[in-house]
Structure 1
Amino acid sequence: MRLLNQFIACLTLAQTCLGFNFQPKQVKWDVKDSTLDNLTPNDPFKTFVTHFSASRSGTDTFLQTQLGLIYPNSTIITTQDTYFDIFRYAAGSSENIAIREIEDIQAIKKTVFIKPQKRKEGSGVVTERVVFGGYQVAWKDKEFKIIVATWAETYRQVTQWHIITDDHTAAQQFIQSCSDYCSTFIDVVWVFEQGFWRPDKELWESVQKASWSDVVLDDKFKNSLQSDYRSFYKSEKVYKDLGVPWKRGLIFLGPPGNGKTISLKALMKEVKVPTLYVKSFHSYGGDEKGIRDIFSQARAQAPCVLILEDLDSLITDMNRSFFLNEVDGLEDNDGSLLIGTTNHFDRLDPALSNRPSRFDRKYTFPNPSRDQRRDYAIWWQDRLHDNKEINFPDSLLDEFADKTDDFSFAYMKEAFVSTLLTIASRKETHSDKLDFGSILLEQVDHLRKELETTDTLSDHQNSGSSSGRGGMGMDEMMGYRQNAMELSEDSKLFRIPWINF
């Protein structure tokens, strides 16, 4: 009131000084509108405007109280739980459950078109979604009447279920059983992207196609990697007896196209624990909230595998300290196998790359050696063995290995794929059997030129940055020197001097 009096006094002073009259008026608000009064009761426009002109109570409370009046002799149990879905529960659960629509309750439904995720799956389907409806549900030896309503509220859509029952305990048990089933997603990988976790069925299916037998790597390297994660999940008691947290951190590093992804998928397929896959820290609450949600989920799902894709781009100056606090385990991180991947290990902060307690072991996936390139050619030879139109002699194995120096596995794969596509396209115009070997080597020469062009451009772009390293080579800078005093002969491919064994 004091502020209002001061405001009026200021206006009065302005009136005196400037010579104009100010008379505050109170404007009456009239809800009646002559335009609406002149409309007929059945007019669609009046129906619409009247609805949005009316006062509104909380829909959730209104429904619950009104249903209580309709069914005065029953208990009304209400839930908006995200995981509660009687239709999904009935469709997939092994529980004895039956649902039928109550004819006496008028339903409100919307017809919707559901577009397929992939064009080859067809043209989609037309179905109905329930906005309001009533159902009789038989579960085990109990029966419930359930009324469901869905409406928009602020930025979200609300679905509220009303269980009308005489047995409060049985209804609570039904909610728990239904929600427990619907909260369990089978055959998915959980992916964190745009601030939310989502179950990814397609990624899981891609993982199921991976196999360690298809990973062409040095046998000692592959065995060491496999032994690392396999022993981790068997060693909880050993960690506890030593008084150290039961957690492990690995980094897969090296140039793209050399087996990091296929190795990661083979690992994900083998471990029998939940897999959490992180593509971005970004969320509506910033990176800090995203990081907090990611590690909270990992702790809830432990033991689990937590994968951070392109670690060098995920960690920034703004989120580094918060990320390190989460990794260091200000809260309990027991049971977490943390795996980060990067194509640019040199860009990682030393707080990540040089400290074993965060990432204990680094596994380098370099460009394949000559023997590995020959082994990769043998893998393709075995794959094409039953194709009568392909002649793949053993002599081509060595020639291919010699000509593909500095090729990644991805480049070699492209050579074989493009060769097969070329043969398929030329079959229509060539009656004679095409020479697989000559076409393969042509593709290798083509990719060699492409690779040299890419390297030239990369060297030109980075020419100004090498001086800051004092002329130090990348291997030396990253500590990959093969020092007999520090590394064993059998492990020089992947052991790094700053790791304690």
Structure 2
Amino acid sequence: MNMQLKQLILEALSLPNNAISYHVRRRLAEMYPQKALLETSDFNFNITRYAKANLCKIQHNQSNYNQIISGWNGIENRIYNFTKNGHFEVISQENKLEVISMKWQEAYCQVNYHWIIADNKEIAENFFTAVCDWNSEIQDEILVFQNGYWSRDPKLFESIRSACFDTLILSGTLKQDIQDYLGRFFASQDLYEYYGVSHKCGILFTGPPGNGKSHTIKAIINEMEVPCLYVKSLKSRYDNDHYSIQQVFERARETTPCILVLEDLDSLILEESRSLLLNELDGFADNTGIVILATTNYPKRIDEAILKRPGRFDRIYKFDLPTVEERIKYITLWNEEFKSEMCVSKTDITQIAQKTKGFSYAFLKELIISSMTIWMEEREIGKMNKIIISQVDALKKQMTSLTA
């Protein structure tokens, strides 16, 4: 039997891609006539992750050759391993199962296939359901959609955990309006259902780049404490966006309540996929519990059927360039974090804020950081203000160049 399994994998990988799964299933049925077989390529069937959570026990069947690939995680300075083609022995709830895993390339992405071998159909289906159900939950991570499939990104989740509304400066009551609206939405599902109101909403952040849209999204994810799905691109291995749009909204509906982030919405939409996206946003499908949170730097590029039709984006919030008062608040926040020898006076802060008319928050941040870098070369107390003023002129030239 073991020799047959070794030969099976070799045979399968020598076949055309569209014949591999059929060949493996047929051969396994011949090799295990008394067993139940369940075949899957579902994204959520990740037995390695499931086992790491101590929800089952797995080990490689050493009588077969298991192809284990090693990678390097430079951030954590460690090696990680994953099985590309292999044979697992599994113990789950006192049931013994076997899993054959294979990976191969199709078009622009890698396909993961698994075959569960169990004593009966019920055991196979229960194990499959348990693994997929657990893996479908988003736990201290963000699901990112790119290249036609979802991937888990715990690093992105960690990078946004420090973002909060306390360090966010927005014009007028914008920050409070957003917090209040989303807070009421997530707290009112039962009320919506009782009165027969559709519990879904679409929010669009617009305005020139660098004025707090991304920071606000991060703060929302932290404060609302609901799963987040982030769409980087709708391009897929099928060379059209239809498959990707369907995958994105199907996953969001499985994850409710959740926040579905469509950043840079204008760059995500192609003419051929426009009608499908409109359908998913406000068609017959049920988007109960989903907050669709989209951003754009260029609202004029977005079709009016998306931008102005009620029921698709119910709230549109504009993120403008900061006023002089807001620039004072922003520079003051940085100044409070400076070491004492680097600090500037309140009068200096006002002077800097007045000179930075037209600066976005992104340019203000660059102004502060570049000035800190220059100051650290000399470390002369009382000179920080002069350095910042000189950097204002340098950045203004850069802004003029970029505009041109």
Q: How does 1:19-418 map to 2 (within 5 A)?
A: 58-68=23-33, 75-81=34-40, 82=42, 83-93=44-54, 95=55, 97-99=56-58, 106-110=63-67, 112-116=69-73, 118=74, 120-122=75-77, 125=79, 129=83, 131-133=85-87, 135=89, 137-140=90-93, 142-144=94-96, 146=98, 148=100, 150=102, 156=111, 158-163=113-118, 165=119, 169-170=122-123, 172-218=125-171, 220-283=173-236, 284=238, 286-384=240-338, 387-418=339-370
Question: For residues 289 and 147 of structure 1, what CA distance do their matches in structure 2 show?
Answer: 28
Q: Which of the two has higher C-alpha Rg? A: 1
- In structure 2, C-alpha distance between the alignment counterparts of 1:171 and 1:322, rounded to whole Å: 36
**Shift of residue 413, structure 1, vs aligned partner:** 0.6
The alignment-based identity, stated in percent, is: 30
Q: Which has the higher contact order (CA 8 A, sep 6+)?
A: 2
Unaligned runs of 5+ in 2: 1-9
Superposed displacement of residue 200, structure 1: 2.0
* TM-score w.r.t. length of structure 1: 0.68
Distance in 1, Cα, partners of 2:362 & 2:59: 55
1:149 is displaced (CA, Å) by 5.4
Residue 321 of structure 1 deviates from its aligned partner by: 2.4
Alpha-carbon shift at residue 185 of structure 1 (Å): 4.0
296-305 vs 359-368, which moves further: 296-305
Cα distance in 2, alignment partners of residues 172 and 210 from structure 1: 41
Quick one: distance in 2 between partners of 1:310 and 1:100? 44
| Alpha carbons of structure 1 residues 174 and 413: separation in structure 2 relative to 1, 3 Å | same
Cα offset for 1:407?
A: 0.9
Q: Which runs of 5+ in 1 are unaligned?
A: 1-47, 69-74, 458-501
Q: Which letter does structure 1 place at the counterpart of 2:28?
A: L
Shift of 1:339: 1.7
Q: CA deviation at 1:134?
A: 5.8
What CA distance in whole angstroms lies between the structure 2 residues aligned with 1:328 and 1:348?
16
1:454 aligns with 2:399: no
Query: Residues 66 and 237 from structure 1, CA distance in 2 versus in 1: closer, same or farther, beyond 3 angstroms?
Result: closer
Q: In structure 2, do the counterparts of structure 1 residues 419 and 112 end up closer, same or farther at CA, with 3 Å as the change threshold?
A: same
RMSD (Å) for aligned C-alpha atoms: 3.1
Structure 2 equivalent of residue 30 of structure 1: none
Question: Given residue 295 of structure 1, which amino acid in structure 2 is its aligned partner?
Answer: F
Is the CA contact (8 Å cut-off) linking 1:148 and 1:161 kept in structure 2? yes
TM-score (norm 2): 0.83
